[in-house]
Each structure stands twice: as structure tokens, then as C-alpha cells.
Amino acid sequence: MTKLLVTGGSGFIGCNFIEYMLKTYPNYEVINLDLLTYAGCLENNGAVQDYPQYRFIHGDIRDRAFIFELFEKEQFDWVVNFAAESHVDRSIEDPSSFLTTNVLGTQVLMDACRCYGVKRFHQVSTDEVYGDLLLEDDTLFTEMFPLKASSPYSASKASADLLALSYWRTFKLPITISRCSNNYGPFQFPEKLIPLMILKAMKNEKLPVYGTGQNIRDWLHVWDHCQAIDFILHKGRIGEVYNVGGNNEYSNLTIVKLILDELGKPYELIEFVKDRPGHDLRYAIDSSKIKYELGWEPLYTFEDALRSTISWYVDKFN
């Protein structure tokens, strides 16, 4: 039986990944390690809490003594690291927790993986490590694109990526990295664009949009992301980076209007606010490598999946 440690497994993407893996591989044992900060809660794991092959452990990836004791006891086969501070605005207000969790926490995990012979360490990263592209450009981020982080958050993720690649080169730690575009779907903490706008629209509150709202993001449904990591774990090449994109480029303003249309709310709720410092203009992912090497392609269509995501939040928060 494969024993899989998922760090940050009570957060948005982590909880969906655990559910995906337990449903896809019922013979795998999945251990969820989460500190349960503001963005993670055990309620997110409600769908799997009664699975006999699932366990939750409360803990901090930065705590070296705790992590090494846990690895010695459990003898994990694979580790997938979702544990991260991830909100750009928070990283601008206080970069320190992003550096300690996203960089030093990743180092602690990889040191434990080296010591206890873990067969795969997978680092979950972001397209934000590449910086941004011009709005009028048709360039896409490939895995060979230079890293040019714009925020303390993306700089911390780029640092963790480089550290992981150095552990492969220097220590032969079997690592893989995925860099994904913006995720959406159930259980996302409502500081991110889509859930924030849904919840504010439901209450007829003003919807704050940075600048002119023309910044473009590529959107990926969270379960497509989960399947991509599954493919990388089972078929990916050690030491490689794989970009994972949804091929759904929309401006922030367009996303907000789609949400208002679905909820039957007026555009007058939109309120343009002062732009975020260093706000990236456009993200766009080239997923050719994972498509042609591993056979992965997104299954969800954006229009239908956005509609179902809106319905999920309406049902949960009504």
C-alpha cells in the first residue's frame, strides 16, 4: 500500500486533492498534515473523514523536530507539499510568514525526505514565479521561461522551486514540481477573486476590482489540477517541472461580470479600487509538456465549471 503525506491538506487545493486520490486509489493510505491556519479547516475534509485509509495530523512543516519524528514513525512513500501561504495581498502586508513557511518549511520537508528515503517529493508551485506578460502579447509561459517573481509570495514560491531543483541536482532527492494557473472550485477561501465576488454579490455588497480590471489570468478547475498532479506522481520524470494550465484566459473584470450575470445581479455593484502594488498584468500557461509526455488535458469546460462553482457557494452560504 502506498503511503502518501499531503501537507496543507485542509486548504483549498489540498482537500480536493485528498478526496480525488482516495476516490481514485482506494488502496492508498493518505495522511493529511495541516497547521489549520485561517485558510484551512477540518470541515473541508468532511467528504473523506470516515475513510479508513485517511488520517489527519495537526502540525507545522517548519517544526524540524516534529517533522523528523513524524517521518521516522510513518515511513512515507510520497510527499505532496501544498502547505503554503498563498495570498499576494497578505504577502505584501507581511512577507515574513511567506518566507518561513514557503521556503524554510519546504527545506525541512525535503531534509526529512532525504533522511527517511521518501520515493517522491512533489512541490506544488504556481505560474506566478514567471512574473507576468504583456496584455497584448500572445506569449505563453513554458517550463524554460525565466523566473521573475513580482511579489513576496511568488518570490517565496520561486525560491522553494529552486531549492527543490538543487536538492535533486546535489542530493538526488527524487523531486517533481508543478506550476499551475489560477485554480477555482469548491472550498476556496473567500479572499480569492471568484469566491470573494460570489459572496459579496450574494449580499448585494460592492465588488472591489483592482485598477481597471483588465489584468488577465488563466483559470484551471481544481480537480483538473488534482489529476495533473496524479499523472506527474505516477508517470512524470524525476527532476522535472510541469506547467499545468486551463487554457482559459479571462480578465478579472470579465470574471466578475460572469459571476454577476449568473447570479442576476447588476454591474453597478462593481467598484474599481486602487490597484495592487506590483500587480501582474497577464498569466498564460503552455501545458504542452504535460500533455505530450503524460497525456494530461483539462476535462472541465470553464463556463460549466464556473456555473457549478457559483452554485456550490450559493448552496453553502445561503
Catalytic, 85? Answer no
User: How is residue 20 annotated by DSSP?
Assistant: H
Cell numbers 524525476: residue: 238
Nearest CA to 100 out of 156, 149, 58 is that of: 156
> What is the distance between the alpha carbons of residues 4 and 117, in angstroms, rounded to a whole number?
13
pLDDT score at 35: 95
Tens of pLDDT, residues 237-251: 999 999 999 999 999
Mean pLDDT of 109-137: 96
pLDDT score at 88: 67
Give me the domains of the chain, ranges plus CATH numbers: 3-187+219-248+282-299 (3.40.50.720)
On whether the CB atoms of residues 222 and 189 are closer than 8 A, the answer is no
What is the torsional sign of CA 157, 168, 56, 234? positive
Annotated active-site residue in 130, 153, 184, 242? 153
> What is the distance between the alpha carbons of residues 78 and 133, in angstroms, rounded to a whole number?
34
- At residue 260, the 3 state secondary structure works out as helix
Greatest pairwise CA separation for the chain in angstroms: 57
pLDDT band at 86 (very low <50, low <70, confident <90, very high): low
pLDDT band at 97 (very low <50, low <70, confident <90, very high): confident
Bridge-based pairing of strands 216-221 and 249-251 is antiparallel
Annotated active-site residue in 19, 60, 85, 127? 127
Mean pLDDT of 68-86: 94
Annotated active-site residue in 34, 60, 128, 161? 128
Catalytic, 38? Answer no
pLDDT score at 117: 98
> What is the distance between the alpha carbons of residues 283 and 26, in angstroms, rounded to a whole number?
36
Q: How much of the chain exceeds pLDDT 70, in percent? A: 98
pLDDT band at 87 (very low <50, low <70, confident <90, very high): low
Catalytic, 262? Answer no
- At residue 171, the 3 state secondary structure works out as helix
Mean pLDDT of 255-279: 95
